[in-house]
Amino acid sequence: MKRIVTFSVDHPWLTIGLVSLLTLLLGSFLPRIQLDTDPKNMLEKSAPVRIANERVEQEFALLPVTIVVGVVSESGIFGKDALGRFLALTTAISAVEGVVARDVVSLATTNNAVLHGDDLQIRPVLRRAPASDEEASAVRAEALANPTFVGRLFSADGRAAAIYVPLEAGADAAAIADGIRGAIAKVGPPEHVYLAGDPIVSETIAVEVFRQLAIFSPLAGLFMIVALSLIFRNVRMVVAVMGISVISTVWAMGLHVALGLTVHLMSAMIPVFLMAIATDSVHIFNELGFRLRNGTPKRQAIVDSLAVVGRPVIFSDLTTAAGFAALASSTFPAIRLFGIFVAVGTVAILILSFTLVPALLSVADEKRLGGGAERAEPSRLSSRLLAALGRFAVARSGVIALVGLVLFAAAGAGMSRIRINNNMVDWFGASSEVRTADRTLNEHLAGTSLGYVVVRGPDGIFSQPEGLRFLEGLGARLANEPRVGKVVSLADVVKQSSVAVRGGESFREIPDSRETIAQLLLLVGSGSRPQDLDNFIDYRAANANVYVQLETWDVDAFQRVIASSQEYLAQHPLEGVRLQPAGMAYFNLIWNDEMLVGMVSSFAWGLVFVLVLLMWEYRSLTIGVFAFLPLFLTTFFIYGVLGIIGKDFDMPISVLSTLTLGLADDFAIHFVSRLKGRLAEANSGTLDDALRWTIERPGLGIVRNAVVFSAAFVVMVFAGFSPYVTVGVLMASIMLLSSLATLLFLPALFRLFPQVLGPRERTLALVGASVSCLLWIWLAPATARADSTAEASVSQRMGDSQRMDADEIVRREYLAYYYPGTDLRANVTMRLITKGGEQRERRLTMLRRNVGAGGADQRYLIFFQKPDDVRRTSFLVWKYPNRDDDRWLFMPAVELVRRIAASDERSSFVGSDFTYEDISGRDLSSDTRTLLRKEKLGEWECFVIESKPTGDGTDYARRVTWIDAQTFLPRKEEYYDQRGRPLKVFSGDEISVVEGMPTLTRRSMKDLTTGHTTIVEMTEVDYDVGVSEDVFSERYLRRPPPQWIRE
């Protein structure tokens, strides 16, 4: 370390040059930055809740991303002109690009069934602009007569109406919101028009995070510069500190981008965190100031300062890095990346502290530096204050410890009152556009937050009276929940059509006969918008969807909905029925739980990491615990205050808690290290003297660090976005609390337990390690929480198969054959049979998962069970559609993982007649295809497709495939050579429906030239079991997860 410092002092320009070069190099990657601003994407695309939600959406033809447009008028929206404008508005909005026009829901689009004389009409309430006031009031009367509309499509008082605007999958919500605003401006209604709903909130959060970051992080930097200048009055010192934070940010973010990783919202916070951590270098300047004042020559002073401050700086930075690196234990990629790159940045800060800082100092004009240091001499006042503090801390150690204990107890009491909740709308200021819109719409309508409760039962149950009565009861129960605005289920639809068909309110009931119900359902389903029925029930009448509109974004509201529906089911049991929550409200609930709980458990890991490191560094359990206390107390105290003032423990707070890992302990480390150093000196005097010296001299550095820092971040309190206010308040309080805790409680503790500083305690490496192991084991269940298994059953909706071309058919074949489910677990038996009838058997367990954008990449983990001499051999494949696979093989006999060559996709898979390509799918782009005909193969209607490879490298010239028109699975495939002779024949022998997905469970391939046949059977096939992406790695290749490889 000393050599590095000396080198940097002696070759300052070279050092500065090298640092600049590296910075330029890494900085050059920054323009390639890829941002992902959707807070939802912090939860993996393949998270079970996302998968389950997507299934429910598919099943009920729901469009998950919906903007709510609310029209509010004090004079009512049922006037002649107002209705006309509303119709125009609906039409204009439907025309916006990216909006799924046919699914827009409003009074002007949703069908209503009414009886006109004997004539039953099914059409929207508002189908044309009313020509007269009478017509307008007729519209009103008709709308009011349909309770499924009231509260959802318009308010009961007639002052508000809503348009629900679903967005196409993957559409740019911001652009569409702008398009909608444009449409509104074009229609120009005098009514107030509000935009609300999840896309608006998410989009606005993304915009706000970056916008406010752009305002406040430079502002914080500026305040920091001012504070630094006031303290040190030396440009070079200020430049050094700021330079470190900027350069470390460039390094960390440059590397982040260079590795091709998407920058999520969390990673966007990295610069702010690094700016905070960089202030650690203040300790170096503090010490340098003292030394220069003593008349030490500059070069010597620099080297000496770094020698004494070096160890605590290294150690506190490493502790910080370790603390953040512990966030890598999170199951969420966004948190993981954030933790890792803050750690990277911290290490960069550490490196820079010993290279760039001495280099910059040594090129500083000696006189000016000296002069600066002269002025950097602590003012009388701060010296006197610290001296007084030192005397107080030493003299009143008992009282301080007692106060500490009381505060600790109080904080504990406060913590027990903490409410974990997340409400993204509340992140905005009370008068912000987002919150106003949300509040107004929630006042008038049934709520902007939508969740579903899916009721699953046996086939046909929801076309029977008891099924519908169950839904009716469930709906009534949920509607009674305090923050639920509206509940609509199939029961309401049936009742409404019953009224319409039978002509009178008295018929608002569930009919007693199956036939009547079937007729009513047929009637509703035959309207021009089949989705009006599809949204509520699937075609087998086995699954029904209950809409729950909530008036709040508080996640616990939907939690109550779930609990309440479970209670209802328990009280009214119905054979084979179970419940599954879904929808955006449920997503937010899970997002909240997973992220928050994940964050807290990662944070706990960080704390443990830091504690173990401290014990290790000081080779003492007690000193380790002491040095850990300021961090612990700070965290504890902040949480306690949150509990007492009743602020929700939400996402921003849980994220920022991790900051204590980086900051709160630095002071303690400096304090303890310097105290120990002082005690080791010959003339240190008594423990009390040493304590006073430590409070006065390194203590000044601590106070300066705290002041610089709080000054910088207190400015964020003025941001109009609560996560930033939280940043400001938390940073300032962490600084204040931990510096106080360090300067008051640590001396008190050391005075009360002086023996810990005596000759080294027992070496506690072993104890430390076992304690940490125990803690880890204790914490592990929280972090390793198994992904809850996603809900089953999806109905395969095959669109109109008549009009598809060959490419589309084969694409569907691939989806059905190679890609069903997000993941798969199956036992595979391959029987290799020679012409003479001799048999060999390969038994393997296969795990697959679709990953990457659109799930086009696949990962396979194949574990061999038989034959015995290859048992435990496992095989990992990362498959990409457009380039060579990555393949690894684990050979258990020599315990070695090897990467293996994978250029030849046509080589045989484990000696069978199937090739690698046959197992995992040939690149779609490597064939040209023609649809030959559609014909019956046995009893199955099939497409017959001819494929010809475009390149060479195949052992056949063309192949003809019979693809089942219903399931899109291959029934038969023939391979031919150049001369048209058949080479191989594939046959799909058995198709079973597994969890709603047709699956080829038995297939065979016969080589016609050798007479060799391979029969593949799949048993115990399971889709979406929740095999996480991590499983497809060397770790699990060596030792696959036992729960999945058991036969």
Partner 1 sequence: VSGASRGLRRPGACLAGTLTALAAYSADSRARAEDGANYALHGFILVDVSFRVSGENPPGFGDVAFAEERARLEATLEAADVDAAARFKLDGFNDSLVNRSGVELREAYIDYRVGPFDFRLGRQILSWGVGDLQFVNDVFPKDYAAFFLGRPIEYLKVPNDALRTTLTFEPVAVDLVAIPFVTPDGVPGRDRFVYGFDPFSSLAAQPPSLPEPSWQNTELAGRLRLSVGETDFALYAFRGFFHTPSLVPDDPLAPTAISALFPALDVYGASVQRNLLGGVVSAEAGYYHSRDNASSEDPTRPPSRAKWLVGYQSEVATDLTLGAQYIGQWTRHHSAYRASLPPGAPVLDAYVQTATVRLTLLLFHQTLRLSAFVFAGISERDLLAIPEAEYQVSDRLSLVLGANLFAGEHPDTTFGVFRSNSNVYTWARFSF
Q: Binding of partner 1 at residue 211 (CB under 8 A)?
A: no
Q: Binding of partner 1 at residue 262 (CB under 8 A)?
A: no
Q: Minimum distance from CB of 913 to partner 1 (Å)?
A: 8
Q: Which amino acid is at 866?
A: K
Choose which of 906, 934, 948, 1002 interacts with partner 1 (CB under 8 A): 906
Q: Minimum distance from CB of 324 to partner 1 (Å)?
A: 12
- A 10 A CB-CB count for 746 gives 24
Choose which of 31, 894, 933, 978 interacts with partner 1 (CB under 8 A): 894
Whether the CB-CB separation of 89 and 71 falls below 8 Å is answered with yes
Q: Minimum distance from CB of 832 to partner 1 (Å)?
A: 6
Choose which of 328, 479, 518, 641 interacts with partner 1 (CB under 8 A): 328
Q: Binding of partner 1 at residue 1034 (CB under 8 A)?
A: yes
Distance of CA 88 to the CA centre of its chain: 39
**Identity of the residue, 392 or 616, whose beta carbon is nearer to partner 1 in the bound complex:** 616
Beta strand 578-582 pairing with 886-891 = unpaired
Residue carrying structure tokens 């569930």:
510
Q: Minimum distance from CB of 404 to partner 1 (Å)?
A: 33
Site string for partner 1, 941-980 (x = CB under 8 A): --------------x-------------------------
Q: Which part of the chain contacts partner 1 (CB under 8 A), choosing from 179-187, 725-733, 904-912, 960-968?
A: 904-912
Q: Which part of the chain contacts partner 1 (CB under 8 A), choosing from 232-240, 513-521, 537-545, 902-910?
A: 902-910
* Cα distance between residue 520 and residue 59, in whole Å: 21
Q: Which part of the chain contacts partner 1 (CB under 8 A), choosing from 177-185, 227-235, 323-331, 970-978?
A: 323-331
* Cα distance between residue 170 and residue 178, in whole Å: 16
Q: Which part of the chain contacts partner 1 (CB under 8 A), choosing from 283-291, 533-541, 542-550, 893-901?
A: 893-901
Q: Which amino acid is at 848?
A: R
Nearest of 349, 350, 351, 330 to residue 340 by alpha carbon: 330
Q: Structure tokens of 250?
A: 């460039």
* Cα distance between residue 315 and residue 769, in whole Å: 19
Q: Binding of partner 1 at residue 854 (CB under 8 A)?
A: no
Q: Binding of partner 1 at residue 1042 (CB under 8 A)?
A: yes
Residue carrying structure tokens 């597994």:
994
**Identity of the residue, 693 or 986, whose beta carbon is nearer to partner 1 in the bound complex:** 986
Q: Binding of partner 1 at residue 777 (CB under 8 A)?
A: yes
Q: Binding of partner 1 at residue 840 (CB under 8 A)?
A: yes
Nearest of 252, 267, 256 to residue 343 by alpha carbon: 252
- The CA-based dihedral angle spanning residues 342, 347, 348, 351, taken in that order and rounded to the nearest 10 degrees: 160
**Identity of the residue, 797 or 835, whose beta carbon is nearer to partner 1 in the bound complex:** 835
Measured CA distances, 238 to 23, 319, 357, 697 (Å): 19, 25, 11, 20
Q: Binding of partner 1 at residue 934 (CB under 8 A)?
A: no
Choose which of 21, 784, 815, 993 interacts with partner 1 (CB under 8 A): 784
**Identity of the residue, 563 or 900, whose beta carbon is nearer to partner 1 in the bound complex:** 900
Q: Which part of the chain contacts partner 1 (CB under 8 A), choosing from 174-182, 280-288, 344-352, 1029-1037?
A: 1029-1037
Distance of CA 7 to the CA centre of its chain: 45
Q: Structure tokens of 453?
A: 């409760």
Q: Binding of partner 1 at residue 901 (CB under 8 A)?
A: yes
Beta bridge partners of 845: 827, 863
* Cα distance between residue 973 and residue 987, in whole Å: 6
Q: Minimum distance from CB of 762 to partner 1 (Å)?
A: 14
* Cα distance between residue 290 and residue 668, in whole Å: 20
End-to-end CA distance of the chain: 55
Q: Binding of partner 1 at residue 868 (CB under 8 A)?
A: yes
Choose which of 783, 795, 873, 966 interacts with partner 1 (CB under 8 A): 783
CA neighbours within 13 Å on the CB side: how many for 120? 15
Site string for partner 1, 913-932 (x = CB under 8 A): x-------------------
**Identity of the residue, 445 or 604, whose beta carbon is nearer to partner 1 in the bound complex:** 604
Q: How many residues does the chain have?
A: 1047
DSSP assignment string, 566-618: HHHHHHS--TT-EEEEESHHHHHHHHHHHHHHHHHHHHHHHHHHHHHHHHHHH
Q: Binding of partner 1 at residue 1035 (CB under 8 A)?
A: yes
Q: Minimum distance from CB of 901 to partner 1 (Å)?
A: 5
Choose which of 21, 395, 752, 780 interacts with partner 1 (CB under 8 A): 780
Q: Minimum distance from CB of 352 to partner 1 (Å)?
A: 22
Q: Binding of partner 1 at residue 774 (CB under 8 A)?
A: no
Choose which of 899, 950, 1009, 1020 interacts with partner 1 (CB under 8 A): 899
* Cα distance between residue 669 and residue 660, in whole Å: 13
Q: Which part of the chain contacts partner 1 (CB under 8 A), choosing from 208-216, 420-428, 537-545, 887-895?
A: 887-895
Nearest of 985, 1025, 963, 948 to residue 816 by alpha carbon: 963
Whether the CB-CB separation of 23 and 247 falls below 8 Å is answered with yes
Choose which of 340, 523, 608, 735 interacts with partner 1 (CB under 8 A): 340
* Cα distance between residue 423 and residue 470, in whole Å: 32
Q: Structure tokens of 868?
A: 């015995």
Whether the CB-CB separation of 249 and 26 falls below 8 Å is answered with no
- The CA-based dihedral angle spanning residues 801, 806, 807, 812, taken in that order and rounded to the nearest 10 degrees: 40
Q: Structure tokens of 969?
A: 């699975």
Q: Binding of partner 1 at residue 911 (CB under 8 A)?
A: yes
**Identity of the residue, 479 or 870, whose beta carbon is nearer to partner 1 in the bound complex:** 870
Applying CB under 8 A, what is the total number of residues that bind partner 1?
Answer: 54
Q: Minimum distance from CB of 1009 to partner 1 (Å)?
A: 13
* Cα distance between residue 123 and residue 116, in whole Å: 12
Nearest of 780, 761, 775, 777 to residue 616 by alpha carbon: 761
**Identity of the residue, 213 or 828, whose beta carbon is nearer to partner 1 in the bound complex:** 828
Helix (H, G, I), strand (E, B) or coil at 748: helix
Q: Binding of partner 1 at residue 336 (CB under 8 A)?
A: yes
Tell me the backbone φ, ψ of residue 797, rounded to 5 degrees.
Answer: -95, 105
Site string for partner 1, 110-129 (x = CB under 8 A): --------------------
Choose which of 210, 392, 819, 878 interacts with partner 1 (CB under 8 A): 878
Q: Minimum distance from CB of 893 to partner 1 (Å)?
A: 4
* Cα distance between residue 241 and residue 53, in whole Å: 48
Q: Binding of partner 1 at residue 893 (CB under 8 A)?
A: yes
What residues make contact with partner 1 under the rule CB under 8 A?
259, 325, 328-329, 336, 340, 776-777, 779-780, 783-784, 832, 834, 840-841, 866-869, 871, 878, 884, 886, 893-896, 898-904, 906-908, 910-913, 955, 1012, 1029-1030, 1033-1035, 1039, 1041-1042, 1046-1047
